[in-house]
Structure 1
Amino acid sequence: MDSRQVISRILIGFGMLSILLYGYGAVMYGMWDFVGFVLFAILPLGYGWTLDKHNRKKVHENMEKQILKLAARKQNLLTAADVALYTPLNMEQSGDVLEDLRRKGFLHLKVADNGAFVYEFQSFLSVEEKLSAERV
């Protein structure tokens, strides 16, 4: 877990704890401090949630780049096991990511003789294919 994830989780936790404490104070003692509630509960919670969402998006983009690099090394053919072996993803997550890329149209699905799913990247072209491409 990198420092941005830690910071976002701390902010979310602090915001949730503040909501509980301000709520308890409001119910038990009738103390309503709107400025403190916004400053110490809503703002940290909102910023932590936004930061966490941004971090997850960056991790997903980085994972796609790792998978693309792996596909380039593996002659544009990948299985979930390949992705699980060379990335931090487990087998289930690898299959989900590859299936998501297939649904987006970046991969084509093939079935090997043993029944394993093989995903083929069509976006990588050889130099010969690039040179023989026609103008549109």
Structure 2
Amino acid sequence: MESRRMISKILIGFGVLSILLYGIGAFKYGMWDFFGLLLFAVLPIGYGIMLDLSYRKKAYDHMEKEILRLAAEQQNLLTAADVALNTPLNMEQSGETLEEMRRKGFLQLKVADNGAFVYEVQAFLSTEEKLSAERV
């Protein structure tokens, strides 16, 4: 996974460098090579951005699963500190990720007596709750 991100950064860097060199060539020497600019600048930047977005989505999906596993271990209740201690995320990233999951409807927000935010996962049901579910 990390190699995909590195490749995306290299492609974007190569594209930016190509734009710079083609810009210098165009203004200083009067060379206008639009095909070369497209091939060596625009396409690498576009593909690099696509790879980076794909990497970020996969990383977010993986982190979502890791947070759900952690919630299952902690009786469906999580704080940003719990997530920060048990995942590679720092406190700020943990809070943002939990808040994003809350906005999507996966978590409900509660406030503890000391003012800390506690997120409850609603997706997990006990076996009894699953068996007592009614048909729709």
Does TM-score exceed 0.5, indicating one fold? yes
The equivalent residue for 2:61 is: 61
The equivalent residue for 1:128 is: 128
Q: Percent identity?
A: 74
In the aligned structure 1, how far is the partner of 2:23 from the partner of 2:49?
A: 20
User: Structure 1 residue 52: deviation in Å?
Assistant: 0.7
User: Structure 1 residue 99: deviation in Å?
Assistant: 1.1
Q: For 1:102-113, what aligned pairs fall within 5 Å after superposition?
A: 102-113=102-113
Q: For 1:56-95, what aligned pairs fall within 5 Å after superposition?
A: 56-95=56-95
Deviation readout 1:1-54 (Å, 9 max, x if unpaired): 810011000000000000000011001110011121111111111111111111
TM-score with structure 1 setting the length: 0.96
Deviation readout 1:68-119 (Å, 9 max, x if unpaired): 1111111100000001011111111111111111122111111112221110
In the aligned structure 2, how far is the partner of 1:129 from the partner of 1:102?
A: 22
Deviates more, 1:55-64 or 1:102-111: 102-111
Q: CA RMSD in A?
A: 1.0
Q: Give every structure 1 segment of 4 or more consecutive aligned residues whose post-TM-superposition deviation is greater than 6 Å.
A: none
Equivalent residue pairs, number: 136
The equivalent residue for 2:46 is: 46
In the aligned structure 2, how far is the partner of 1:99 from the partner of 1:54?
A: 22
Question: Any stretches of 5+ residues in structure 1 without a counterpart?
Answer: none
TM-score with structure 2 setting the length: 0.96
Q: SS of the counterpart of 1:120?
A: strand
In the aligned structure 2, how far is the partner of 1:101 from the partner of 1:32?
A: 49
In the aligned structure 2, how far is the partner of 1:112 from the partner of 1:49?
A: 41
